[in-house]
Structures are given as structure tokens and as C-alpha cells.
Amino acid sequence: MIAKLQCVVLDCTDVGELSRFYQSLLGGVVNRPDPRWSLGEGWATLHTDGGFVLAFQRTEDYRPPRWPDSAHPQQFHLDLAVEDLDRAQEDVLDHGGTLLDEGDGKRSWRIFADPAGHPFRLVRD
């Protein structure tokens, strides 16, 4: 092993909005004091209850991915486990997410975008 994953950083235009969106999905604490990072207008963090850290970095010229447009590729996505896809979908939409692909009703996942356009999947656990 060469390294240990410290966090995943998402570019966006509004670090507060995006950190609160993911807090509404995953729980945890936004901008918990942590000596590894300086918090400010251009940087926010979300420490989840499971110990995972998401970070959010303001980028002035941010261009969101457009799923499934290869001219603006998704670059990466998060898979978030849920017990009830229908209920989780309602909650995601209520918190500002956008449904990108509901699927055919047979598969165990659906694709959404966060408020900054990053795609993520809700996956039946």
C-alpha cells in the first residue's frame, strides 16, 4: 500500500450548498474542525458518521458533467446504498437533486445529479 484515502474532493461553484446537500443524504458534520484542512469560502468538508470525508472546492470556471454526454464526462460518481429506492428518490429530489435515469424498474439502482451536476447512484442495499 502506498497511500491511504484522505477524502474525495468535488469541484463546484457553491461549497456551502453542495456540502449541505450531501449532509442531507449522508448525515455527518459540515466543516468540523480538522487540522488537515483550512475551511473558508472556497473550501468545505463533510465528515460522515462512518468516518468518510467529502470535501468541496470552489472552482470559478466549473463546468458540470452532463450524463451521458461524453463531451462533458462524469469523471467519477458516488454509489450510495439505500434500503428503499422509491423513498430515497423522493428525499433526494426534495433536497435539490435531479433524476437523470430512473431505469426500467428492474435494476437495483438509479442515477441522479447533485445541485452542482455531479452524477451519483442510489443503489438498493
Reported as a pLDDT band with limits 50, 70 and 90, residue 20 is: very high
Global model pTM greater than 0.75: yes
pLDDT tens, position by position, 28-76: 999 999 888 888 889 999 999 999 999 999 998 898 888 888 888 777 7
pLDDT of residue 35: 87
Smallest Cα–Cα separation from 100: which of 110, 88, 89?
A: 110
pLDDT of residue 93: 97
Q: Grid cell 433526494 — which residue?
A: 92
Reported as a pLDDT band with limits 50, 70 and 90, residue 107 is: confident
